[in-house]
Chain A
Amino acid sequence: GDSVTQMEGPVTLSEEAFLTINCTYTATGYPSLFWYVQYPGEGLQLLLKATKADDKGSNKGFEATYRKETTSFHLEKGSVQVSDSAVYFCALCDYNAGNNRKLIWGLGTSLAVNP
Chain B
Amino acid sequence: DARVTQTPRHKVTEMGQEVTMRCQPILGHNTVFWYRQTMMQGLELLAYFRNRAPLDDSGMPKDRFSAEMPDATLATLKIQPSEPRDSAVYFCASGLGQNTGELFFGEGSRLTVL
Contact = CB atoms under 8 A, between A and B. Distances in A.
Question: Do they bind each other?
Answer: yes
Given A102-B33, A105-B42, A93 B100 contact: yes
A91 interface: yes
A91 B100 CA distance: 12
- Size bracket, chain B contacts: 20 to 34
From DSSP, what is the main secondary structure of chain B's interface residues? strand
Given A43-B4, A107-B42, 11 more contacts: A32-B101, A44-B91, A45-B105, A46-B102, A46-B103, A49-B102, A89-B43, A91-B101, A103-B101, A103-B103, A105-B43
A100 interface: yes
Interface residues of A, number: 22
Contact of B101 (A45, A49, A89, A99): A49
In the A-B complex, list the 5 residue pairs whose CB atoms are closest, starting with the nearest.
A43-B105, A93-B101, A107-B42, A44-B105, A101-B100
Nearest to A33: B101
14 contacts: A42-B107, A43-B4, A43-B93, A44-B103, A46-B103, A49-B102, A89-B43, A95-B98, A95-B100, A99-B55, A102-B45, A103-B45, A103-B101, A105-B42
